[in-house]
A and B are shown apart, each in its own frame.
Chain A
Amino acid sequence: MKTVLKILPALVLALAAHARAINLLNVSYDPTREFYEQYNAVFARYWKARTGDTVAVQMSHGGSGKQAQAVINGLDADVVTLALAYDIDQIARQAKLLPPDWQKRLPDNSAPYTSTIVFLVRQGNPKHIKDWNDLVKPGVAVVTPNPKTSGGARWAFLAAWAYALDQYGHDEAKARDFVARLYKNVPVLDTGARGATITFVQHGIGDVLLVWENEAHLAIQEAGAGKFEIVTPSLSILAEPPVAVVDKNAGRHGVLTVAQAYLKYLYSDEGQEIAAKNFYRPRNSKLAARYANRFARLKLVTVEGQFGGWRKAQANFFSDGGIFDQIYQP
Chain B
Amino acid sequence: MLLSRQRRVLPGFRLTLGFSLFYLGLIVLIPLVAVFAKTGALTWERFWHAAASPVALGAYRLSFGVSFLAALVNAVFGLLVAWVLVRYRFWGRRLMDALVDLPFALPTAVAGVTLAALYAPNGWIGEWLAPYGLKISYTRLGVFVALTFIGLPFVVRTVQPVIEALDLEVEEAAATLGANRFQTFRRVILPALFPALLTGFALAFARALGEYGSVVFISSNLPLRTQIVPVLIMSKLEQFDYAGAAALAAVMLVVSFLLLLAINGLQWRTARHHQQT
Contact = CB atoms under 8 A, between A and B. Distances in A.
Interface of A: 63, 65-66, 68-69, 72, 90, 94, 146, 148-149, 186-191, 195, 198-199, 202-205, 318-321, 325, 328-330
A79 B244 CA distance: 29
A318 B236 CA distance: 10
22 contacts: A69-B237, A69-B240, A148-B235, A149-B235, A187-B220, A187-B222, A189-B223, A190-B221, A191-B216, A203-B117, A203-B122, A203-B137, A205-B121, A319-B239, A319-B241, A320-B53, A320-B239, A321-B49, A321-B53, A328-B55, A328-B223, A329-B54
Contacts of B216: 191, 195
Contacts of A328: 55, 222-224
Given A146-B221, A191-B216, 10 more contacts: A69-B240, A148-B238, A149-B235, A187-B220, A188-B221, A189-B220, A199-B138, A204-B121, A320-B53, A321-B49
Contacts of B163: none
Contacts of A63: 238
Interface centre among B137, B231, B235, B239 (most CB of A within 10 A): B239
Contacts of B68: none
A220 to B, nearest CB: 19
A320 B221 contact: no
B114 to A, nearest CB: 12
Nearest to A202: B117
Contact of B238 (A65, A94, A321, A329): A65
Interface in B204-239: 216-217, 220-224, 231, 234-239
Interface residues of B, number: 32
B120 interface: yes
Interface in B123-144: 123, 137-138
Contacts of A330: 54, 58, 224
B220 to A, nearest CB: 4
Nearest to B113: A198
Q: Which 8 A-B pairs have the closest CB atoms?
A: A65-B238, A203-B120, A188-B220, A204-B122, A328-B223, A148-B235, A189-B221, A149-B238
Interface centre among A63, A72, A330 (most CB of B within 10 A): A330
Interface of B: 49-50, 53-55, 58, 113, 116-117, 120-123, 137-138, 216-217, 220-224, 231, 234-241, 244
Nearest to B126: A203
Nearest to B122: A204
Contacts of B54: 329-330
B120 A204 contact: yes
Interface centre among A66, A187, A320, A325 (most CB of B within 10 A): A320
Contacts of B224: 328, 330
B46 to A, nearest CB: 9
Contacts of A189: 220-223
A63 B237 CA distance: 12
A63 B216 CA distance: 14
Contacts of A199: 116, 138
Contacts of A198: 113
A146 B227 CA distance: 11
A57 to B, nearest CB: 25
Contacts of B239: 65, 148, 318-320
B221 A90 contact: no
Nearest to B221: A189
A66 B117 contact: no
Contact of A203 (B116, B222, B223): B116
B55 A191 contact: no
A311 to B, nearest CB: 12
A191 B234 contact: yes
A320 B244 contact: yes
A47 B198 CA distance: 64
A84 to B, nearest CB: 12
A329 to B, nearest CB: 6
Nearest to A93: B240
Nearest to A65: B238
Nearest to B219: A188
A267 B50 CA distance: 43
Contacts of A204: 120-122
Contacts of A318: 239
A61 B94 CA distance: 41
Contacts of B217: 195
Contacts of A321: 49, 53
B36 to A, nearest CB: 19
Contact of B234 (A149, A186, A195, A325): A149
A66 B120 contact: no
Contacts of B122: 203-204
B235 A146 contact: yes
Given A205-B121, A319-B239, A191 B220 contact: no
A208 B154 CA distance: 41
